[in-house]
Amino acid sequence: MGWTSLGNLQDKPVRYLKGIGPKRAETLGRLGILTAQDLLYYFPRRYEDRANLTPISQLKEGVVQTIKGEVLLKGQRRALRRRNFSIFQVAVGDDTGKISVVWFNQPYLANYFKPGMQVVLYGKVERYAGRLQMSSPEFEIIGDSDSEEEKDETLHAGRIVPVYPLPEGISQRLLRRIIKHSLDEAVGTMADFMPMEIRSRNALLNLAKSLINIHFPENFDLQAQAWRRLCFDEFFLFQLPLALRKLKKREKKGLVHTVKGELLDRFIADLPFRLTQSQEAVIREISVDMAGTYPMHRLLQGDVGSGKTVVATIAGIMAIQGGFQAAFMAPTEILAKQHYEKIRHQVSGIRCQGKTIKVGLLTGSLEKKEKEKMLNDIKEGKVDLVIGTHALLEGSVEFKNLGLVVIDEQHKFGVGQRALLPRKGRLEPDVLIMTATPIPRTLAITLYADLDVSVIKESPLGRKPITTLHFKESDKDKVYDIAKEQLKLGRQAFIVYPVIEESYALDMAGAKRRYAELKKAEFKEYRLGLIHGRLKQDEQDEVMQKFLQKKLDVLVATTVLEVGIDIQNATCMIVENAQRFGLAQLHQLRGRVGRGTQESYCIMISSEEAEVPAARLEAMVRYSDGFRIAEEDLKIRGPGEFFGRRQHGLSEFKIANPLTQMQLLKLAREEAIRLIGTDPLLQLRQNTLLKERLLRQFPEYERLMVVG
């Protein structure tokens, strides 16, 4: 980062920063905040203009506003027609008037509010029983400061105030204070890693001023400039290794594969279905790459259930019939094992000129002896196609002749990780990356600038559209009736919950508790199973096998079902507390049904009182196209979670949004290409700090930054 004081402040553990200490450092660590740099790059999620608070008498219905006032009264009551449901209410007043503020099913708030204290509230003003009220606003108590905090009162009032996502046990006031102290300590010795020429050409603020004004803006214009600079940084640092990899790719000689052969012909002929035109077009693109002299680096996009796996298997056979090995990396053990069973079954009957295809499975849960045997077989070339999880990346994994790498659901591995597995090859293997969370093609070409992009646009022949419905919790009986109709036809159903145990804070019924209740009540006539991520792998496998063999009618689950589960007889997906899921998650869950030829249903249930993200659920009902869903998801959730930013410490986008900032992304891409074109290894003096910054964020790219 270019900081030189205090032994490089960016590496200084947060526990040694003023106001933190070991206990708070542990809390911050759960958010990935380990160093001073992490802290300064933990950005506000919004701002409150506390220089211009709205007087209570001037509040407008239907508008999100901020008020400051005194707690006058507080009270708690039970809902009339709902057991175990409480409403906490306070009256807040200022010099101009007073307003009622309510929170639903959060009784613990009674311990926070006391009459006479000063509070700031941020929320939507609504009309209830003829009067204005705020429902479930965000709040900050500002009247319980200790003497040290009072010295920093200007951080919390009379200015534009940052509001951060908070870990439990740390207040907004404390977080502002420690970030301000860290900024004060760092700014004087902070050197800007962005070359001056690039900053001047793109009218970018310097780094120190940007960090100050993203946390504590002097005005909204400077906040916007700071935001633009930091977004540019993320895009630019993201694009640099892509531009370098594309340049290096042209310098490397790839493996020439035998893309035509009897082994492949037999496999395609034996498939129990016909490939779609879209699959055939993508296979032709892959064939051209694999027969060429340059290494293939291709992104395969396709909606849930579009048939990407069979395309990847065909690419694997192209490599195998020429004497090479193929590796297939999946994000979860359940998905890896499913791929293994499916592909092994598909290739089991193929034998051409004495050649058969040997498929192996490598996951972290293998017993020691099994794992040692599999590692030895891979090393000696006794396994042609290895399917596995992150275990494939371990140093103990050696291939005899790796020719193709397939990475499934790459966004779950993180941006830099796709470069790790191909290093296992003696020569440069071809790489095929797959994702079932497609993004618009123009955006994909920009974000994955080092990759060629293929798209499967069709669903397999014979599949019917999935009927998607949205119900409130009060209509849950109607939802269960739809599920029972499917069960009576001999079909199966999923019921998915966002948590395992019950969470009182979020007012959600946990999967374990609801499983027990459903067995005794609504679905007592049927056979139920339960699966979640805390079960041991063999327990998960046993439950899934029973469901696959139709020994269970209903599978109660958490989001372990999000990707890959393929049960053709399952025709009903019920998602409880749907407001707690991201749009991509909901679309992935919907893709677990409709895998066969029968009519299928995806039914989302949302709570009555929660502020349901209406746009998210409406988008699910309205759209079935994964590209449109992904676009809506980026708009609603932001790109950080969409692209899996926290995987393995590789931070992609904490603040930038590629969907809404395409122009800035293009500028950053152009600058990255220009810089790599003139100084590919960042050896010039003016690029020294930039190289240091890049390798701090993406250390796996160090091998690209060497001559030769």
Instruction: Look at residue 67 and give its three-state secondary structure.
Output: strand
The pLDDT value given to residue 629: 77
pLDDT in tens, 631-675: 776 666 555 444 443 333 234 678 888 767 888 988 999 999 999
Assess whether 418 and 564 both reside in one domain: no
The structure tokens 């079935």 sit at: 624
End residue of a domain, out of 560, 588, 623: 623
Residue 4 binned pLDDT confidence (cut-offs 50, 70, 90): very low
As to burial, measured by CB atoms within 10 angstroms (0-12 exposed, 13-18 middle, 19+ buried), residue 100 is: middle
DSSP for 616-654, written as a single string: HHHHHHH---HHHHHHHHHHHH-HHHHTTTTGGG----S
Assess whether 311 and 446 both reside in one domain: yes
What's the whole-number mean pLDDT along residues 597-603? 90
Assess whether 396 and 503 both reside in one domain: no
The pLDDT value given to residue 500: 54
Assess whether 351 and 490 both reside in one domain: no
Q: Is residue 15 part of a domain?
A: yes
Contact 68, 120 (CB under 8 A): yes
Residue 106 sits in a domain whose CATH number is: 2.40.50.140
Assess whether 39 and 54 both reside in one domain: no
Is residue 64 scored above 70 in pLDDT? Answer: yes
Q: Is residue 692 part of a domain?
A: no
Assess whether 512 and 382 both reside in one domain: no
The pLDDT value given to residue 489: 94
Assess whether 411 and 338 both reside in one domain: yes
Q: Is residue 549 part of a domain?
A: yes
pLDDT in tens, 488-512: 999 999 999 886 555 444 444 577 8
Instruction: Look at residue 602 and give its three-state secondary structure.
Output: strand
Assess whether 101 and 40 both reside in one domain: no
Q: Is residue 176 part of a domain?
A: no
Q: How many structural domains does the chain have? A: 4
Q: Is residue 328 part of a domain?
A: yes
End residue of a domain, out of 409, 435, 456: 456
What's the whole-number mean pLDDT along residues 395-421? 72
3-state secondary structure 84-116: CCEEEEEEEEECCEEEEEEEECCHHHHHCCCCC
Contact 690, 194 (CB under 8 A): yes
% of the chain exceeding 70 in pLDDT = 83
Contact 78, 86 (CB under 8 A): yes
Between 449 and 395, name the one with better pLDDT. 395
Contact 511, 497 (CB under 8 A): yes
Q: CA–CA distance from 269 to each of 33, 260, 689 (Å)?
A: 54, 14, 56
DSSP for 178-191, written as a single string: HHHHHHHHHHTTPP
pLDDT in tens, 177-221: 889 988 888 887 788 999 999 999 999 999 999 999 999 999 999
The pLDDT value given to residue 505: 43
Mean pLDDT of the chain: 82
The pLDDT value given to residue 608: 61
End residue of a domain, out of 430, 456, 482: 456
Range of the domain at 109: 48-161
DSSP for 400-432, written as a single string: SSEEEEEEESGGGT-TTGGGTGGGGSSSB-EEE
Residue 244 tokens, joined: 């370098």
Assess whether 377 and 493 both reside in one domain: no
Assess whether 40 and 55 both reside in one domain: no
pLDDT in tens, 295-320: 898 989 887 778 899 999 999 999 99
Is residue 587 scored above 90 in pLDDT? Answer: no
Contact 631, 440 (CB under 8 A): yes
| b/e burial code for range 455-494 (CB count within 10 A of at least 16 → b) | bbbbbbeebeebbbbbbeeeeeeebbebbbebbeeebbbb
**How long a stretch of residues is the chain?**
708
What's the whole-number mean pLDDT along residues 363-378? 90
Residue 366 sits in a domain whose CATH number is: 3.40.50.300
Using CA atoms, how far apart are residues 11 and 583, in angstroms rounded to an integer? 36
Q: Is residue 669 part of a domain?
A: no
Q: Is residue 540 part of a domain?
A: yes
Assess whether 301 and 348 both reside in one domain: yes
Residue 367 tokens, joined: 């017993």
The pLDDT value given to residue 644: 43
Q: Is residue 377 part of a domain?
A: yes
Using CA atoms, how far apart are residues 434 and 406, in angstroms rounded to an integer? 7
Assess whether 450 and 518 both reside in one domain: no
